Structure 1
Amino acid sequence: MLIIFALIFGGGFGWNRGQNNCATTEDLANGFNFSASANRQNEILSEIRQEGRTTDNAICRIGYQNLEQFNSIMRQIADFCCTTQRAIDSVKFDMANYSAAANAKTQEVGQKIMDKLCGMEMAQKDAVIAQQGQRIAALEADARMYGVVRYPTTATYASFFNPFFGFGNGCNNI
């Protein structure tokens, strides 16, 4: 067994490639430095990965916050549009009511004017009818009195005889 042991570690079959040297302090220091360098590289790589995950998380949070703000703005815009539309509808309704009230008032005033004009025309017609009635009555009275001699009710002064009192039966009175 010693022979096998010697063959394995003695430079024959132990894959030592013919280097039978012992590890020096420099070799040990280089090994430790390499190990420390590898560990430091692993730490740096871990920190880079951690920073990448932190950056990814921050980007995701920013995306979610932007989405929430965008949704909030969209809700505000929708509320603003709805509020504006309701206000416009209210103004249209009020304008329609004001227009209807103005039309009713205009119609009422127009009707009053028409009633006043009709009243004036009726009064004028009644006045014309009354005037014509008086004229007809006067003409009828004149027609009834046509040919009737009317005696004066007052005595007039004349230098000659009054023809209505029978002085000479109306002959040679003038």
Structure 2
Amino acid sequence: NKLKIDLDEKEQKLLLSIIENEPITAYKIALYNSMHFSYVYKKMEQFESEELVAHFRKPGDGRKLYYALPKGVMAAMAHGLGSRRLLVEKLRSKWGLADFADEEISVLVKVLAQNYRHGLPLNDIVMSSYYLYIHYLSDDIVISSDYKFVLDKLFKRAFETLLGVVGERCAKACREEVARREFIT
């Protein structure tokens, strides 16, 4: 697959288990998949180092609860795991793109997969959009005109996020320009 994430059959089951049941402990993952806990725990460490999953500690008892990162969801898509609708919904939620339709999320996945290079921050859609835009402007990547609308929508969202960081005065001056600009020509 274009993301260069190779998962054997057992690893695919583990990843899908996390996506379908997140947040979930390694113990429950092992239980649901009839796998030895030590194997699952080692795989969770590997998945975390590959940025497919992350964890947080449950308040009160300190148990690690694992959840899939967008890169992990995209890896599941690339391997044809689970329900496509569930995976699209997970990405929409994780990327904070509630106003993007299923097809628009699918287009983003396709563009990111087609243009994947080591270092592309798949887990942060705002940084991914900056990455795509910079490489598009420098002619390092070619983006099909079929995807123009979706990418313009994404770039506008990313620049609006940036404007929120730079301050209200600058944001007011720039907001109209960002709204009317076409980023892909």
TM-score by length of 2: 0.15
Larger relative contact order (Cα-Cα within 8 Å, sequence gap ≥ 6):
2
TM-score, normalised relative to structure 1: 0.16
More helix by share: 1
